């Protein structure tokens, strides 16, 4: 108990030590809103008074957990399981599911207040530096070692890169990785893969592209007869345009986004490097073999276009695989196939690391139950359920490569392979991540819509990045 | 509704009945609660915002740092600022001008009292009552580059595909279009109400003199409608200046910031980038501009009070 | 006079076109709300409707997405805040109308000008205030700031209506010995009732659609009002279920539709009062 009660007394302690009678305990526990089943469990466990049983009792302590998650699909799976969570763990889940923008706002307000609104929060990888780095979350090392359920299989069931990104962090150094664990990867991993119409590729005699040159040729060959060779997210300022379309091309060809480091105050952008400009130029060429409205395409419209059968190829977050393979929401459900994204040699399939991690803020009111819920939502069991029922991205390898799931959803193992190769975005460790990505996406859109050249757009973006980095004190 | 009666006391009656001190006490009782409320909720946030606009917020450390005018400097020297100002001004001036002209024309049109116009009037009122989010949703569907109805119509009618939201030259005008769809009814209602309130003798006098409809409208009706038209124009102008919902719902500022407005910049910097100090500065520039606009509005409206009484 | 007839015909055509222009977007949304997710992608939408699809869409929104909760929250929050705004604003407007004191006009103008402040400028400070009062995520936490949003307009409209009531009525009541507050309560309130309806209508319109401040204050789903709930539909991170979004849109419009039919008259009167002042 003392592992994570941090000073505040626990009534279970008092029951065990004899400071509280059985009757008093029942009365106090019910006042706390603990369910009868849980109380029974605690009493039984307290009778034995060993450390292991105390843990079981605390896991059954239940109560209410205020959960904050993104509204990207998994909230449906969580909602499905409200009843089961209540009966198994005695926990009442009060879930708030929001789009990314409002979620970050709510997260910010909650962790900085004296007592938190939320006990368990899903943290986006890009915001780890700001919030975990700000010291708002509690370390989970001891908990995962001593209070994890059987079969949790931490850390082996997670891709190494995932743990580096939405798991371990070093606030002192402001860097990913290190020895302290603050988050457990979940609910989504967010890899990026290539979706294509196998019927159209077969008909045109085009092989699945392995390099970017092949990709452009394929787009050319497949374009026509009312079908666009490819589409992309080209909407100005769209975060996904930068991450999905530009960064994939950039990093899979060995591009280095930054030089120096924030700590040394020489963190400088390299958007004018040949690799950066080439990546953007490739996108500009691909636009010629896209649909007419591509310049206002965001994540959702791009997916709709593919599902409506208007596109031959699309690079996208694997999370849309579910809707695209589902005959109820996609006209091409039986014609779509996936592969890892193109690239140079061993970098083929290298994408930006996305994903979320679940953590417990230091100011959470109900940390015991929050931990129990955390282990459940990041478990293989829940992952298998969620993918089966709602086809969102999992986070665990055992779910990505589960044979049963892959029979129904063959894209899973490709997504899992991509997840293993993901590369952490070099600017993910400073608070200005979103601002920088938005600025770049705004400037790149100029090149994509033809109002400026790729080189000029990259130069402008680079200049703006220098301004922001200087303002943030990462560059002198 | 006829013109206001003057507040001057009629001759033969005492000017005041209550002693001045009692008046002050009563004023306090009647006004006090409302004033306190407004001070708490309006003035306090505005003062806080002003103070914040001179500071910089560090989201990791959750601290504020005094930086003087630097936010304002950054704002005025940023490359987007003047684009954003231009966009906001276009929405405010050109957009409102369109709404005023069309709204007034509608009012004159409905003055004919055609059969069935009551129903159409009822329909016209709807757009301005709608939740802006729903308006954004509706138009996003209509303007959808893949399956939106508007492009289908445009192609069928021979105009060809229009990049409503994807073409940086067109996007802002698309916003003007949607804004006008939503708020022209407001101008219409204001002017129409005034039109209905005008005494009939005015028109009869005009037609007796043998003037044509155009002449009558230009010489008689429009000048009489001016107070309402001006009121609607300024009221709309100030609301258009604050446009945020449409940008958020339809374009998110793009393409390449061709539709970003001041309000949206404030939102994006505050809400999405967590640059609260800077966002406060953007908001303050707007507050001052709004204050100037309002002073203008009120002066004009009160001047018209005299005209109305004639 | 065939010129006259042609003119008439053109007028009717124009009338119909205006009606269509106004209502077309709603009809489109209605059609979308009748379709299944995959049929949204077809253009032009084919007019074959499947009753079970329609039921499915509406059932999902009303039942699964707690639509009823949002409507109830909206009604409570809007209603209570409008009532409080009336309670505070009517006496204040009365004071402005009847009592002469220095700077009365300047005060009145300042009050109206609060209405025009950009919401983003006040959203966070208001949120911080509500949080320090411990009212985050409560209906009262929404009601408090919403009163402040409708108060200025209520005062402004009521000043106009009070100005129309001749001062003699006040004065004869005071001759009979009533103090001003009582004059307001017993004598003028009944007379000002139409004005209060107008003020209430405008108060409702502005608060019903408020979203930015609410987004900060409300955390849990069962406290959300309609605009806040609707905003989470416009997420850019996952494919939008257009048919469901359209259903939500239509359901949002229905209360407004009912409301606008009932208060059509008052809207016209209210704006006129403002214009004439």
Quick one: average pLDDT of A359-379? Answer: 92
Quick count: other Cβ atoms within 10 Å of Cβ B167? 19
Instruction: Give the pLDDT confidence score for residue B204 in this predicted structure.
Output: 66
Cβ within 8 Å of B, C 58-87: none
Residues of C in contact with B44 (CB under 8 A): 125, 129
CA distance A449 to A234: 8
Same domain, C76 and C39: no
* Paired sense of beta strands A356-359 and A184-185, if any: antiparallel
- Identify which has the larger pLDDT, A243 or A89: A243
pLDDT tens-digit series, residues B172-207: 999 999 999 988 988 888 788 777 767 766 666 666
Percent of chain A with pLDDT over 70: 87
Mutate to test the interface with B, among A98, A296, A300 (most CBs of B within 10 A): A296
Instruction: Give the pLDDT confidence score for residue B203 in this predicted structure.
Output: 66
The count of domains in chain C is 2
Percent of chain B with pLDDT over 90: 7
DSSP category for residue C46:
P
CATH at residue C263: 1.10.3720.10
Per CATH, which fold does A192-353+426-471 belong to?
Answer: D-Maltodextrin-Binding Protein; domain 2 (3.40.190)
Min Cα–Cα distance to chain B from A441, Å: 9
CA distance A101 to B269: 11
Quick one: average pLDDT of A125-137? Answer: 90
Min Cα–Cα distance to chain A from B96, Å: 26
Interface residue A284 vs chain C (CB under 8 A): no
Interface residue C127 vs chain A (CB under 8 A): yes
Tell me what the pLDDT averaged over chain A comes to.
86
Domain range enclosing C149: 65-276
pLDDT tops 70 at residue B244: yes
Instruction: Give the pLDDT confidence score for residue B228 in this predicted structure.
Output: 77
- Contact, A421 vs A344, CB < 8 A? no
Helix (H) / strand (E) element for B191: namely helix B171-197
Instruction: Give the pLDDT confidence score for residue C272 in this predicted structure.
Output: 54
Residues of B in contact with A471 (CB under 8 A): 74
pLDDT tops 80 at residue B10: no
- Contact, A20 vs A14, CB < 8 A? yes
pLDDT tens-digit series, residues A314-355: 999 998 888 889 888 888 999 999 999 999 988 999 999 989
- Contact, A255 vs A264, CB < 8 A? no
Neighbours of chain A (3+ CB pairs under 8 A): B, C
Instruction: Give the pLDDT confidence score for residue A179 in this predicted structure.
Output: 92
What DSSP string runs through C103-129? THHHHHHHHHHHTTS-HHHHHHHHHHH
Min Cα–Cα distance to chain C from B194, Å: 7
Q: Cβ of B252 and A292 within 8 Å? A: no
Instruction: Give the pLDDT confidence score for residue A34 in this predicted structure.
Output: 53
Same domain, C37 and C108: no
Please give the residue of chain C at the shortest CA–CA distance from A96. C220
Closest CB to A320: pick one of C136, C137, C239. C239
Residues of C in contact with A329 (CB under 8 A): 37-38, 239
Query: A153-157, A170-174, A194-198, C1-5: which has the highest mean pLDDT?
Result: A194-198
CA distance A59 to A49: 15
Contacts of A176 (CB under 8 A, 6+ apart): A128, A129, A164, A165, A168, A169, A170, A424, A428, A429
Q: Cβ of C121 and B5 within 8 Å? A: no
Place of tokens 């009757």: A23
Strand partners, A65: A93
Same domain, C217 and C255: yes
CA distance B111 to B197: 11
Give the pLDDT band (50/70/90) at residue B297.
low
Instruction: Give the pLDDT confidence score for residue A469 in this predicted structure.
Output: 93
Strand partners, C196: none
Quick one: average pLDDT of B37-51? Answer: 81
The mean-pLDDT minimum among A176-180, A199-203, C119-123, C216-220 falls in C119-123
Half-sphere exposure of A46 (CA within 13 A, CB side): 25
Instruction: Give the pLDDT confidence score for residue B288 in this predicted structure.
Output: 82
Interface residue B152 vs chain A (CB under 8 A): no
pLDDT tens-digit series, residues B100-123: 999 998 888 888 777 777 778 778
pLDDT tens-digit series, residues C109-155: 666 666 666 677 777 778 878 877 878 778 888 998 899 888 887 88
Same domain, C33 and C89: no
Contacts of A395 (CB under 8 A, 6+ apart): A158, A162, A185, A186, A187, A188, A189, A355, A378, A383
Instruction: Give the pLDDT confidence score for residue A184 in this predicted structure.
Output: 95
CA distance C34 to C49: 7
Give the pLDDT band (50/70/90) at residue C216.
confident
Q: Is the peptide bond before B209 cis (omega within 30 degrees of 0)?
A: no
pLDDT tens-digit series, residues C221-271: 778 888 877 776 654 444 567 787 788 778 877 877 777 777 766 655 555
Same domain, C56 and C133: no
Contacts of C80 (CB under 8 A, 6+ apart): C139, C143
The mean-pLDDT minimum among A239-243, A244-248, A251-255, B186-190 falls in B186-190
Tell me what the pLDDT averaged over chain B comes to.
77
Min Cα–Cα distance to chain A from B48, Å: 17
- Show the tokens assigned to A253: 């060809």
Contacts of A27 (CB under 8 A, 6+ apart): none
CA distance C93 to C99: 10
Instruction: Give the pLDDT confidence score for residue B205 in this predicted structure.
Output: 65
What DSSP string runs through A195-246? EEEHHHHHHHTPPPP-SHHHHHHHHHHH-BTTBEEEE----TT-HHIIIIII
Right CATH for B92-309 from 1.10.10.10, 1.10.3720.10, 2.40.110.10, 2.40.10.220: 1.10.3720.10
pLDDT tops 70 at residue C103: no
User: Is domain A62-185+356-394 given the CATH code 3.40.190.10 in the classification?
Assistant: yes
What are the sequence ranges of the domains in chain A?
A: 1-59, 62-185+356-394, 192-353+426-471
Its pTM stands at 0.80
pLDDT tops 70 at residue B21: no
Give the pLDDT band (50/70/90) at residue A182.
very high
State the ipTM, two decimals. 0.74
pLDDT tens-digit series, residues C32-87: 888 877 777 776 767 777 788 888 888 877 776 677 888 888 889 999 999 999 99
Min Cα–Cα distance to chain B from C113, Å: 6
CA distance B6 to C276: 13
Quick one: average pLDDT of B41-48? Answer: 79
Interface residue A166 vs chain C (CB under 8 A): no
Q: Cβ of C234 and B137 within 8 Å? A: yes
pLDDT tens-digit series, residues B126-163: 787 777 777 877 888 888 877 788 888 888 887 777 77
Quick one: average pLDDT of C183-211? Answer: 78
Instruction: Give the pLDDT confidence score for residue A444 in this predicted structure.
Output: 93
Same domain, C14 and C72: no
Q: Cβ of A435 and B271 within 8 Å? A: no
Same domain, C10 and C113: no
CA distance A383 to A378: 7
pLDDT tens-digit series, residues A253-277: 999 999 998 889 999 999 999 999 9
CA distance A447 to A438: 15
Instruction: Give the pLDDT confidence score for residue A24 in this predicted structure.
Output: 64
């Amino acid at each position: 108990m003392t592992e994570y009660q941090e000073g505040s007394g626990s009534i279970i302690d008092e029951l065990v030590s004899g400071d509280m009678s059985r009757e008093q305990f029942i009365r106090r526990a019910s006042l706390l809103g603990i369910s009868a089943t849980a109380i029974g469990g605690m009493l039984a466990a307290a009778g034995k008074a060993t450390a292991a049983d105390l843990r079981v009792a605390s896991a059954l302590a239940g109560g209410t957990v205020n959960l904050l998650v993104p509204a990207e699909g998994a909230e449906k799976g969580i909602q499905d399981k409200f009843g089961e969570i209540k009966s198994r763990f005695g926990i009442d889940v009060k879930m708030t599911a929001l789009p990314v923008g409002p979620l970050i706002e709510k997260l910010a307000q909650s962790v900085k207040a004296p007592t938190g609104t939320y006990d368990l929060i899903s943290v986006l990888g890009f915001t780890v530096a700001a919030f975990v780095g700000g010291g708002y979350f509690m370390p989970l090392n001891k908990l995962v070692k001593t209070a994890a359920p059987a079969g949790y299989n931490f850390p082996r069931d997670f891709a190494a890169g995932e743990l580096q990104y939405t798991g371990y962090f070093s606030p002192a150094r402001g860097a990913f990785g290190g020895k302290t664990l603050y988050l457990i990867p979940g609910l989504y991993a967010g890899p990026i893969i290539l979706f294509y119409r196998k019927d159209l590729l077969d008909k045109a005699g085009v092989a699945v592209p392995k390099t970017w040159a092949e990709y452009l040729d394929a787009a050319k060959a497949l374009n026509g007869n009312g079908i666009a060779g490819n589409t992309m997210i080209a909407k100005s300022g769209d975060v996904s345009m930068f991450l999905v379309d530009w960064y994939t091309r950039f990093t899979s060809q060995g591009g280095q986004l930054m030089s120096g480091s924030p700590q040394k105050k020489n963190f400088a952008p390299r958007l004018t490097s040949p690799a950066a400009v080439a990546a953007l130029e490739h996108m500009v060429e691909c636009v010629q073999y896209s649909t007419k409205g591509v310049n206002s395409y965001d994540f959702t419209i791009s997916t709709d276009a593919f599902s409506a059968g208007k596109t031959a190829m699309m690079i996208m977050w694997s999370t849309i695989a579910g809707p695209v393979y589902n005959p109820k929401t996609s006209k091409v459900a039986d014609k779509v196939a996936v592969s890892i994204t193109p690239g140079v040699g061993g970098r083929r399939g290298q994408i930006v690391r996305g994903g979320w991690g679940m953590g417990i803020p230091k100011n959470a009111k109900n940390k015991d139950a929050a931990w129990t819920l955390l282990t459940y939502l990041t478990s293989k069991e829940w992952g298998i359920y969620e993918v089966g029922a709602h086809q969102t991205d999992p986070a665990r390898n055992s779910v990505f490569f589960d044979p049963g799931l892959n029979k129904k959803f063959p894209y899973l193992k490709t997504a899992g392979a991509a997840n293993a190769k993901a590369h952490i975005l070099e600017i993910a460790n400073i608070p200005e991540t979103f601002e920088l990505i938005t600025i770049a996406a705004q400037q790149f859109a100029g090149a994509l819509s033809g109002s400026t050249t790729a080189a000029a757009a990259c130069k402008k973006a680079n200049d703006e990045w220098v301004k922001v980095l200087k303002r943030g004190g990462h560059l002198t | 509704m006829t013109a206001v009666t003057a507040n001057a006391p009629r001759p033969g009656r005492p000017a005041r009945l209550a002693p001045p001190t009692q008046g002050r006490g009563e004023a306090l009782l009647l006004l006090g609660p409302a004033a306190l409320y407004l001070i708490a909720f309006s003035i306090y946030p505005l003062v806080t915002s002003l103070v914040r606009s001179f500071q910089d917020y560090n989201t990791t450390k959750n601290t504020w740092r005094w930086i003087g005018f630097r936010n304002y400097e950054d704002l005025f020297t940023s490359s987007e600022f003047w684009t954003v100002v231009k966009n906001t001004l276009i929405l405010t001036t050109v957009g409102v001008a369109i709404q005023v002209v069309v709204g007034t024309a509608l009012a004159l049109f409905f003055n004919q009292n055609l059969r069935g116009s009551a129903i159409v009037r009822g329909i016209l009122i709807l757009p301005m009552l709608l939740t802006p989010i729903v308006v954004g949703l509706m138009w996003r569907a209509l303007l959808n580059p893949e399956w939106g109805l508007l492009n289908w119509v445009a192609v069928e009618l021979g105009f060809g595909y229009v990049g409503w939201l994807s073409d940086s030259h067109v996007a802002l005008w698309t916003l003007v279009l949607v804004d006008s769809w939503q708020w022209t009814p407001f101008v219409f209602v204001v002017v129409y109400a005034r039109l209905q309130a005008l005494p009939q003798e005015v028109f009869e006098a005009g037609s007796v003199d043998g003037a044509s409809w155009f002449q009558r409208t230009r010489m008689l009706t429009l000048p009489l409608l001016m107070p309402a038209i001006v009121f609607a124009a300024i009221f709309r102008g100030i609301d258009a200046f604050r446009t945020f919902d449409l940008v958020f719902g339809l374009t998110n500022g793009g393409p390449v910031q061709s539709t970003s407005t001041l309000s949206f910049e404030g939102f994006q910097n505050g809400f999405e980038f967590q640059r609260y100090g800077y966002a406060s500065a953007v908001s303050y520039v707007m507050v001052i501009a709004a204050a100037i606009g309002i002073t203008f509005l009120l002066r004009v409206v009160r001047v018209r009070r005299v005209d109305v009484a004639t | 006079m065939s010129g006259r007839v042609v003119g008439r015909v053109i007028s009717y055509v124009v009338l119909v076109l205006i009606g269509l222009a106004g209502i077309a977007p709603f009809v489109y949304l209605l059609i979308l709300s009748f379709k299944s997710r995959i049929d949204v992608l077809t253009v032009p939408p084919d007019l074959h409707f499947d009753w079970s699809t329609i039921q499915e869409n509406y059932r999902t929104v009303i039942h699964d997405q707690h639509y009823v909760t949002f409507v109830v929250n909206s009604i409570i929050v809007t209603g209570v805040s409008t009532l409080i705004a009336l309670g505070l604003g009517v006496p204040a407007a009365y004071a402005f109308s009847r009592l002469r004191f220095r700077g009365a006009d300047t005060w009145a103008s300042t009050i109206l000008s609060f209405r025009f402040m950009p919401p983003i400028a006040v959203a966070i400070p208001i949120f911080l205030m509500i949080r320090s009062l411990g009212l985050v995520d409560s209906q009262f936490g929404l009601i408090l700031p919403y009163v402040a949003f409708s108060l200025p307009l209520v005062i402004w409209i009521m000043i106009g209506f009070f100005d129309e009531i001749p001062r003699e009525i006040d004065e004869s009541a005071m001759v009979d010995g009533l103090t001003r507050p009582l004059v307001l309560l017993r004598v003028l309130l009944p007379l000002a009732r139409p004005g209060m309806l107008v003020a209430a209508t405008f108060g409702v319109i502005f608060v019903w659609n408020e979203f930015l401040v609410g987004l900060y204050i409300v955390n849990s789903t069962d406290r959300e009002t309609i605009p806040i709930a609707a905003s989470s539909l416009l997420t850019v991170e996952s494919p939008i279920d257009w048919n469901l979004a359209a259903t939500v849109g239509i359901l949002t419009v229905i209360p407004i539709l009912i409301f606008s039919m009932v208060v059509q008259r008052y809207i016209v009167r209210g704006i006129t009062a403002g214009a004439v002042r």
